[in-house]
Amino acid sequence: MTQWLGLTGSIGMGKSTTAQMFADLGAAVWDADAAVHRLYDVGGLAVAPMQAAFPDAIENGAVSRPVLKRILMADPDALSRIEAIVHPLVRADRADFAAQATAQVVVFDIPLLFETGSDTEMDATACVSVDPGTQRARVLARGTLTEAQFQAIVAKQMPNDDKCARATYVIPTRSLPEARAAVAEIMQTLTDSAHA
């Protein structure tokens, strides 16, 4: 029986790298952020409803993330309206992926796993984790966010300790070998459960 693993972790914790490790070991991986990009792109299912709600956010037939950011800064209440449009579409995308996946382990890479209650649909959950200093250094090294933007994102996310406490597994990502070992162990456990 297929095992569903919800994978989460705060910004800069190494979630994307860890998701790739699961894929390398044969898991089917669904990425919530990639799903949103597809929905926002030209022809994406979110374009028409977003255009109805936020006409200014559409550029060249697609939802413009920079414009959305400006809308959100000007109107904090816009977030709940955006989520009401996007979350059901993301959920449907995830269900389609799950229905077609043939791997024994299916990993759902969901940044807001616990915040959206999606953890209740999983057989197990895993949270990637690293110390705050390493997290900050990784994010700022990307050069895409300022210190203030990084702190604002962290302030909005569920605290890392809370995520780790709720997760079935915690994957330490201080080093690649450490993360790989944890991923391999989880994959083995879930594969065994799939055969049980």
**pLDDT at residue 34 above 90?**
yes
Confidence of residue 76 (pLDDT cuts 50, 70, 90): confident
Number of neighbouring beta carbons within 10 Å of residue 92: 13
Residue 196 has pLDDT above 80, yes or no: no
**Beta carbons of 57 and 63 less than 8 angstroms apart:** yes
The yes-or-no verdict on residue 67 having pLDDT over 80 is yes
Helices (H), 46-175: 47-53, 65-74, 78-100, 132-142, 147-156, 160-166
pLDDT over threshold 90, residue 136? yes
How far, in Å, CA of 194 to CA of 2, rounded?
5
Report pLDDT for 155.
85
Average pLDDT over residues 147-174: 92
DSSP string, 91-125: HHHHHHHHHH--SSEEEEE-TTTTTTTGGGGSSEE
pLDDT at 116: 86
User: What is the distance between the alpha carbons of residues 120 and 114, in angstroms, rounded to a whole number?
Assistant: 8
Least confident of 14-23, 68-77, 133-142: 68-77
Per-residue pLDDT at 152: 85
Q: Is 10 helix (H, G, I), strand (E, B) or coil?
A: coil
Q: How high is the pLDDT of residue 73?
A: 85
pLDDT of 154 above 90: no
